[in-house]
Amino acid sequence: MAATLTSGLTARQSAQTPQQRLERLYRSSRDDVYAYVAALLRDRQLAEDVTAIAFERAFRRRGLFDARRGTERTWLFGIARNAALDELRRRTRHSPHPVLDQHESTPAHEDAVIGRTLLQQAIVGVSPRERELIALKFHAGLSNKEIARVIGVSESNVGTALHRTITKLRKACDEDG
């Protein structure tokens, strides 16, 4: 496992201990993981819990990271995805509690507010998988290759689905606008 920990990493990364690399990963990915989990769960409180669980698991399993199977970031998002989907499984046994708090930033002008509202409605209208794709691409900033690793499909498949989702969003916004 020690060999796999260092393979595929840069020289600077290799010089760091797994703990140090994980701390760096935490600092760079904390908000991205939260945004992704929040998009999946659509519940801020649960998203906080699941984000904490994801990092807890990542710290505990840092010895299991295998660089041959992807970057540390994809590994972390895989853990976060599993934790979030486990929470979704639990939630299906009870009444759903959706409603992610709306964006809190103050809009500069009215058009922006209208446009953002339309987009929020459009996002709510797409399927959960498409919403996950949006979160990974635009909220977490993962590349198509990384997304493919996280959700377990091919990279071209990700491109196809992403384009279809964007088209659907544009169409929804245009129709409502």
Binding to another protein in span 10-49, by CB under 8 A: 19, 23, 26, 30-31, 34-35, 38-40, 44-49
Judged by CB under 8 A, the residue of 6, 8, 85, 145 near another protein is 85
Per-position x/- string for 107-126, each x denoting binding to another protein as judged by CB under 8 A, each - no binding: --------xx--xx--x---
Does the protein bind another protein through residue 100 (CB under 8 A)? yes
User: Contact, 88 vs 29, CB < 8 A?
Assistant: no
* Crossing angle of the two packed helices 18-41 and 72-92, in degrees rounded to 10: 40
User: Contact, 62 vs 48, CB < 8 A?
Assistant: no
Part in contact with another protein (CB under 8 A); list of ranges 4-12, 70-78, 101-109: 101-109
> How many residues are given for the chain?
177
36: left (phi over 0), alpha (psi -120 to 50) or beta: alpha
User: Contact, 149 vs 139, CB < 8 A?
Assistant: no
Instruction: Name the residue nearer to another protein (CB basis): 11 or 39.
Output: 39
Instruction: Name the residue nearer to another protein (CB basis): 67 or 88.
Output: 88
Judged by CB under 8 A, the residue of 51, 65, 74, 146 near another protein is 51
Part in contact with another protein (CB under 8 A); list of ranges 7-15, 65-73, 80-88: 80-88
Cβ-in-10-Å burial (0-12, 13-18, 19+) of 83 comes to buried
Least separation, in Å, of the C-beta of 12 and another protein? 21
